[in-house]
Structure formats: C-alpha cells, structure tokens
Chains A and B, each alone.
Chain A
Amino acid sequence: MSGQPNGNSVILSEKSYQEINTYLGDLLQKSRASLCVFADMNGYPVSYKTTRTALNVDTLTALAVNDFSATAEIAKILGETQRFRYLYHEGIKQNLYLCNIGNHYLLIVIFGPHVNLGMIRMLSQHVAGKLDALLNRIRDEKDKVAKYMDVEFRTLLGQELDKAFGLKN
C-alpha cells in the first residue's frame, strides 16, 4: 500500500513532482484526454495536466475524491475487502474515469466521447502502476514541513488572515 494513513501530510520533493508530471503529461498526450489529475484521498490535487482553460481543478478534485471515497463505503457494505479499483461516469460531452492508486491516491481522467474507454483504462492503469511504485519509493519526505512553514511565514500568515478576514487593521 502506498502513501500514508489518513490524517497525515503529503509532502513530495520537486524531483518527485517532475516525475509525476512526466507520467501525467504522457497520459494526457497518449490518451487524448482533456484533464489528468493525480490527487490524494484527502481531496488535494497533487498535480495535474490539462488542455482545458478556466477549469476549477480544486473543486473538481474535492468532489471526485469524495465521490470515490463514498463508493469505498459501499464496497465495505458489500463485503469487499478493498476499495473499488475504478469508477466511470459517462456524460454526453465528457466522461470521468477514477482509478484507485494504493488506497491513498486517485487518478482522475476526463475525456470526450471520441476517446475509447478501453484505451483510457489501459493507459491509466499503466500510469497508476508507475505512480504507485514512485510513492512506495519516496515514502516519507515529511521533514520538509517544518522548513516550509518557518516562524516568519507563520507570523506573516497570521497577519494576512487578519487582513483578509477584517479582524484587525
């Protein structure tokens, strides 16, 4: 199983991001999909590649992840020992394919009716395997959190919040 248990942070190095981006870029190009998102099961888009503009990837990811997680509860009720491996939603103009990666990550692919589902499924599973291997390899890069949020950053963040929320002048 890759990733970390519920409630823990996801911190990846720049090199890991580059590798993830390469996989997503390949998937986008080869599958002719319009959006590929690598997300964690907490609802964050870790990285994505898209041919579309003006798309709210944050919201889309939050909804897709919760959609997938809801079906994991259904799987439990049905006596499945694991989450469902993938989900597919078919629309008129767009289709959505969600692929489980090691129970803690999700691959989200959006594609039009001109693209064959079998092709999406095959390519997605290939990329999911590569991403799973990468996640198992890197495991824990958590020590970077403290460095990222130093004291000065925390102080300035507090000031920015007060300004945005109208709490202090």
Chain B
Amino acid sequence: MHIDHQKNEIVFKIVYYGPGLSGKTTNLEYVHSQLDPGLCGDLISLKTSEGRTLFFDFLHLELGRIQGKKPRFHLYTTAGQARYAASRQVVLQGTDSLVFVVDSQRGRLADNFASLKELQNRLTQNGVAITQLPWLIQYNKRDLPMAEDVAVLERKLNIWEVPYIEAIAVTGRGVFLTLRKAIELIIKK
C-alpha cells in the first residue's frame, strides 16, 4: 500500500492470480464495464496475438474522498499460462491482497492445484508467507455442467481455509463481491 500525504490518498494493490483461462481477465473486464467511468480508468491489457494475457491486465479504481482521504485501487491480473511464470513473479511484488481464481471444472483441478503451489512458492521468493497475505479464493465458472462441487474444491484446494466466493464472471455474478472481500481483507488487517 502507498500513502500519499500530500494528496491525502491511499493506494492498494490487488492481484488476480490463477491458472490460464480461469477468468481473471473476465473479472476485470466486468468491473470495468459496470463501474461509473468517473470511478475507473481504462482497462490496460497486454495480450498475445491470440488474445491471451501476455504480461498483465491493469485497472485503476478510485472512490470519492472519505474523511478527506481518497482511496484508490490498482487491480492487476497475472498471465495464467505456464510459460509466463517470470512475469507473474513481477506482478506479485508488493500486492496488498490477492484473489485466486479457480476454474471450477473437474478437469482443471490439477491446473488449479499446480497454480496454487506456484503462488505459494512465488510469494516465498518475494519474502511473503501465504499465511501472512490477505487473500481469498473465487470459485469461478459455477454455471458449467462439469463444475465440481464447492465442498470438494474446498477440501482439495483450500487447505488454508481462506474465505471463498462462488462466481460466474462472464455474467458478473460474484465479481464485485469478490473485489469487495479482497479490499475488506486489507482494511481488516
């Protein structure tokens, strides 16, 4: 987090992490499409020629002044594909809160698990223990027929018992609740 005493602003960094095609960019696209343009900037996406995230997506949100102070939020997604591991390390630096986006489909369980393990390792490399970081899990794609039961996903993935939210990011279900929770976890801390 960054506090600017001169402008009386406080800035938080929130990162969406997860395996490729789990819906991280879709979360940000939905937030960007729904919010008053006065509250958010352009959605910056660094994409490959196939439209997959190459480095990160970035969205800047701000609220009006509270007690004279202006809260602002920098939202990032990481590139999900395995070959962009180094770029994920870079984006994770200095994150205040994290959303791990799970693809709920049964066939993606191993990918989710591998991504979670990688997250843990990358945080460690950045000097942060996963238990110290405010974070939550978003079980996305709950509408798909092959979606695994949340109870099963919880048992297999959420060994830290962090909060979770069910979502269908393409329709917006759970998207703002997730973001709200990610911010709440920072301010609680």
The interface residues of chain B lying within 8 Å CB-to-CB of A62 are 44, 58, 60, 74, 76
A7, A11, A156: the one contacting B94 at CB < 8 Å is A7
Q: A17–B66 contact, CB under 8 A?
A: no
Q: B187–A70 contact, CB under 8 A?
A: no
Which DSSP category, helix, strand, loop or mixed, fits chain A's interface?
helix
CA distance A14 to B6 in the complex (A): 6
> Which residues does A use to contact B, with CB under 8 Å?
5-14, 17, 21, 40-44, 46-47, 56, 58-59, 62-63, 66, 69-70, 72-73, 144-145, 148-149, 152-154, 156-158, 160-162, 164-167
B10, B42, B74: the one contacting A148 at CB < 8 Å is B10
B3 within 8 A of A: yes
The interface residues of chain B lying within 8 Å CB-to-CB of A6 are 93-94, 126-128
Given contacts A59-B42, A73-B90, A161-B180, contact A149 B55 (CB under 8 A): no
B67 within 8 A of A: yes
**Smallest CB-CB separation from B2: which chain A residue?**
A44
Q: A161–B183 contact, CB under 8 A?
A: yes
Q: B35–A164 contact, CB under 8 A?
A: yes
Given contacts A66-B55, A157-B66, A164-B35, contact A42 B2 (CB under 8 A): yes
The 9 closest A-B pairs by CB, nearest first: A42-B94, A44-B2, A165-B176, A69-B90, A6-B126, A7-B128, A73-B86, A14-B5, A156-B66
> Which residues does B use to contact A, with CB under 8 Å?
1-6, 10-11, 13, 34-36, 39, 41-42, 44, 55-56, 58, 60, 63-64, 66-67, 69, 71-72, 74, 76, 86-87, 89-91, 93-95, 126-128, 133, 176-177, 179-180, 183-184, 187-188
Q: How many A-B residue pairs have CB under 8 A?
A: 131
The interface residues of chain B lying within 8 Å CB-to-CB of A12 are 3, 5
Q: A46–B4 contact, CB under 8 A?
A: yes
B3, B55, B60: the one contacting A58 at CB < 8 Å is B60
CA distance A5 to B36 in the complex (A): 35
**Smallest CB-CB separation from B175: which chain A residue?**
A165
**Smallest CB-CB separation from B60: which chain A residue?**
A58
CA distance A72 to B126 in the complex (A): 14
Q: How distant is B177 from chain A, measured CB to nearest CB, in Å?
A: 7
Q: B187–A154 contact, CB under 8 A?
A: yes
A7, A10, A46, A70: the one contacting B95 at CB < 8 Å is A7
Q: B69–A41 contact, CB under 8 A?
A: no
Q: A153–B66 contact, CB under 8 A?
A: yes
B66, B91, B180: the one contacting A162 at CB < 8 Å is B180
Q: Can you list 9 contacts pairing A with B, beta carbon distance less than 8 Å?
A: A11-B2, A42-B94, A44-B74, A70-B87, A144-B3, A160-B71, A161-B63, A165-B176, A167-B177
